[in-house]
A = this chain, B = another copy of it.
Amino acid sequence: MLDLGVIDRTDDRPPYRQIAAQLRRHISAGTLAPGEKLPSESELIEHFGVARMTVRQALQELRGEGLVVAEHGKGVFVRSAPPVRRLASDRFARAHRQDGKAAFLVEAEATGRKATVDQISVSTEAAPAEVAERLHLEEGARVVVRSRRYLSAGVPVEIATSYIPESIAAGTAITSTDSGPGGIYARIEEQGHELAHFTEEVTARMPTPEERKALQIGAGVPVMTLIRTAYDTDETPVEVCDTVKVSHAYVLEYDVPAR
């Protein structure tokens, strides 16, 4: 059994922090291995002789640090580190596209992990202000909106939403859930918009509750947002893609010339 110690009422730290510290100690020491189940709330209540809320506060602190995840009806488990995906800056090379591969699958190939996509939805909507600005459209102009979730080895790692001007997407497979070989970039080029370059805007923040749910992460795990704008050879923006990535699942790599 785990050595959890006892509450020291003379300790400066409140009981819930002491309980959290005991559990944290076992996690960092490996006595509680990734994927392993923590003692249940009832067991902790009995062991420490405290009220349920006190135990829950301790567990919540650990959830906030991203150390554990609670599964309703099953228990609280030590978080297992998700796969790290390195995204190099050549991930949109045309060569890959001509092979019939979408960008995410190209990235996945390098890691050797099985990549899947689900929760695909496609609709036509009015462009949000931030999107309209990047696409050089009037606010409220119609855009095709494609949302999907990416998983690596079954673990959700990213949610993404693409916005394509209706003038480009109309009548193509872009408006279908299956965008065809090479993904939507191949379709955009078929419409006569040869892709020249992308800009990416990267920042990080805490996830909203909806994002936490979709990415299956606890509170306390940050996300990176990457807004990519694709330009054709006329410098016309042809797509905006807003992605939310589980931060510790990704390392973004960029190459910057010194000029």
Contacts and interface: CB of A to CB of B under 8 A. Distances in A.
B250 A203 contact: yes
A87 to B, nearest CB: 9
A224 interface: yes
Interface of A: 17, 20, 53, 61, 64-66, 89-90, 92-95, 195-209, 219-224, 230, 247-248, 250-259
A79 to B, nearest CB: 11
Contacts of A93: 258-259
A195 B257 CA distance: 9
Contacts of A204: 204, 222-224, 247-248
A72 to B, nearest CB: 13
A154 to B, nearest CB: 22
A196 to B, nearest CB: 6
A161 B252 CA distance: 20
Nearest to A92: B258
B207 A256 contact: no
B256 A197 contact: yes
A179 to B, nearest CB: 17
Given A200-B253, A222-B247, A17 B209 contact: yes
Nearest to A65: B206
B64 A206 contact: yes
Contacts of A197: 255-258
